[in-house]
């Protein structure tokens, strides 16, 4: 049975492939769009994204060996899923800046064995749970999976902001796995029905396509970030309300289309053309043969790229150069239970070994209504499957207990498990 990391790697890889370019707003007859819900209508967030990818087209393209090896490792680690049986991958995501929550939903369409997938999940850290739709559904502390014979849905929520221990998502719950199911059944508004997505739909059509509708808060933040480096890029970012991308693989060359939605008085073609020509002339650039035009509120640019260099550049844009990659949380399952003498036993049930000491945090509401917090440290490392820690402190009924990990350099922290005892 693969570790929880293997399951999450599958969702993360699908998301990375989708964000490197996908078919959310394609004009073709494409079943992926019906799974892409509108996070703004559901959660009130303003920055949302959707995309899909013809996975077999990606596998057939002459991409670099490291990329193919990564997909192969996923295929090998998740025994119940064969990448060759996955036709397309659909993505919906959102970023709530104020509430510091990032949500992602990945839907793989193809042929699946629900029983085999369920067995593999329950042997790990997932528990079966009810679903209002005709699917088998499973949850762990931070993600959910739903599976039927023609679709597998993965949803996860991630706390945004290093050093933030609050992983309570409130109304979000595990909804990133439910929301695509609701959209597919016509019970939720879809991303493709948004005004900006509709504008992009007629411009983008390729093997791989992605689209993002950008909230004003994110536009302003990104504009300030880019302003110090490239004034033209800052002007584009601050005026663009939505943008999209598609790619069509043609052997060693990939045909690209970029589209942005912006009011003509706020974004002129010369600014876009100047920026793209600058990118094209940059040493190591993956694009060439750039042309720019306008169609109403849509600014459209076409280009050609070397396929291998294109995939590499998009992967670096997603993950950053290796030396700048921040530490990631261990993917591990813990069980938390109250003992007969009112202490708490925390057990490593499976997944990654943990090399760093863990904080066991008690949170309770006192009789006067104030919050009480107490910490203990699980110092005996490495912490691996089967290891357990029994707290010195007693836990009052209804207290919340968290298992908190932090990186050695202090740049990353998060809750690995939480329970009310």
Residue 112 has pLDDT above 90, yes or no: yes
Work out the number of other CB atoms within 10 angstroms of the CB of residue 28.
Answer: 9
Last residue of a domain, one of 297, 324, 351: 324
For the cut 50, the answer to whether the pLDDT of residue 106 exceeds it is yes
Cis peptide before 382 (omega within 30 of 0): yes
Q: Does residue 313 sit in the same domain as residue 380? A: no
- Rounded Cα distance between 397 and 49, Å, is 41
- Residue 115 pLDDT > 90: yes
CA 137 vs CA 77, 115, 246, 410: distances in Å: 21, 11, 32, 36
Indicate whether 142 and 163 sit together in one domain.
yes
- Can you give the pTM of this predicted structure? 0.64
Of 330, 379, 387, nearest in space to 354 by CA: 330
Residue 195: closest CA among 25, 36, 348: 25
Same domain, 210 and 73: yes
Instruction: Count the neighbouring beta carbons within 10 Å of the beta carbon of residue 150.
Output: 12
- Shared domain check, 123 and 92: yes
Last residue of a domain, one of 299, 324, 349: 324
350 lies in which domain range? Answer: 332-420
Residues 338 and 266 in one domain: no
DSSP states along 4-73: HHHHHHHHHHHHHHHHTS--TT-SS--GGGGG-B-HHHHH--SEEEEEEEEHHHHHHS---HHHHHHHHH
d(CA 410, CA 342): 32
pLDDT score, position 289: 80
Q: Please count the structural domains in the chain.
A: 2
Domain endpoint, select from 307, 324, 341: 324
Tell me the three-class secondary structure of 54-92, residue by residue.
EHHHHHHCCCCHHHHHHHHHHHHHCCCCCHHHEEEEEEE
Instruction: Write the pLDDT tens digit of every residue in 24-53.
Output: 333 334 578 899 999 888 878 888 889 888
Residues 34 and 141 in one domain: yes
Q: So what's the pLDDT on residue 148?
A: 93
If asked whether residues 134 and 17 sit together in one domain, one would say yes
* Closest to 197 in 3D by CA, of 238, 242, 239, 237: 242
CATH number for 339: 2.60.40.10
Residues 261 and 369 in one domain: no
3-state secondary structure of 171: helix
Regarding whether 206 and 132 lie in a shared domain, the answer is yes
391 and 300 inside one domain: no
Based on the fold, state whether residues 312 and 373 are members of the same structural domain: no
How many CB atoms lie under 10 A from the CB of residue 344? 22
pLDDT at position 388 is 94
Residue range 222-264, pLDDT digits in tens: 655 554 455 667 677 778 889 888 888 887 888 888 898 988 8
Is the domain of 152 the same as that of 183? yes
């Amino acid at each position: 049975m693969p570790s929880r990391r293997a399951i999450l790697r599958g969702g993360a890889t699908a998301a990375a492939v989708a964000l490197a370019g996908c078919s959310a707003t394609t004009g073709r007859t494409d079943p992926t769009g019906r799974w892409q819900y509108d996070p703004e209508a559901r959660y009130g967030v303003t920055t949302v994204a959707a995309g899909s990818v013809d996975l077999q087209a990606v596998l057939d393209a002459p991409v670099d060996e490291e990329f193919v090896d990564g997909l192969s490792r996923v295929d090998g680690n998740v025994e119940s899923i064969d990448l060759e049986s996955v036709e397309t991958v659909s993505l919906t995501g959102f970023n709530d800046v104020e509430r510091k929550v990032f949500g992602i939903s990945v839907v793989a369409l193809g042929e699946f064995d629900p029983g085999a997938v369920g067995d593999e999940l329950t042997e790990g850290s997932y528990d079966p749970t009810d679903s209002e739709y005709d699917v088998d559904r499973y949850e762990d502390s931070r993600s959910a999976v739903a599976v039927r014979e023609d679709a597998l849905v993965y949803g996860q929520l991630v706390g945004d902001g290093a050093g933030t221990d609050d992983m309570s998502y409130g109304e979000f719950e595990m909804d990133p796995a439910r929301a695509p199911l609701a959209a597919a059944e016509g019970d939720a508004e879809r991303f493709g029905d948004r005004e900006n997505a509709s504008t992009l739909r007629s411009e983008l059509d390729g093997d791989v396509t992605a689209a993002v509708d950008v909230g004003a808060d994110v536009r302003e933040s990104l504009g300030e970030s880019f302003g110090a480096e490239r004034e033209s890029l800052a002007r584009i970012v601050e005026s663009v309300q939505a943008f999209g991308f598609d790619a069509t693989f043609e052997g060693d060359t990939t045909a690209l289309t970029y589209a942005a939605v912006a009011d003509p008085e706020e974004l002129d073609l010369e600014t876009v053309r100047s920026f793209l020509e600058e990118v094209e002339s940059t040493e190591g650039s993956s694009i060439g043969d750039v042309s720019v035009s306008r169609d109403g509120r849509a600014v459209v640019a076409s280009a050609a790229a070397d396929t291998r260099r294109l995939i590499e550049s998009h992967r670096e844009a997603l993950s950053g150069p290796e030396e700048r990659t921040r530490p990631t949380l261990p993917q591990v399952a813990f069980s938390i239970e109250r003992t007969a003498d009112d202490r708490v036993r925390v057990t490593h049930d499976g997944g990654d070994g943990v090399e760093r000491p863990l904080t066991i945090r008690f949170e309770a509401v006192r009789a006067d209504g104030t919050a009480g917090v107490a910490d203990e440290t699980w110092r005996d490392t490495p912490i691996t499957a089967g290891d357990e820690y029994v707290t010195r402190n007693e836990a009052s009924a209804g207290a919340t207990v968290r298992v908190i990990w932090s990186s050695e350099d202090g740049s990353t922290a998060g809750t690995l498990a939480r329970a009310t005892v």
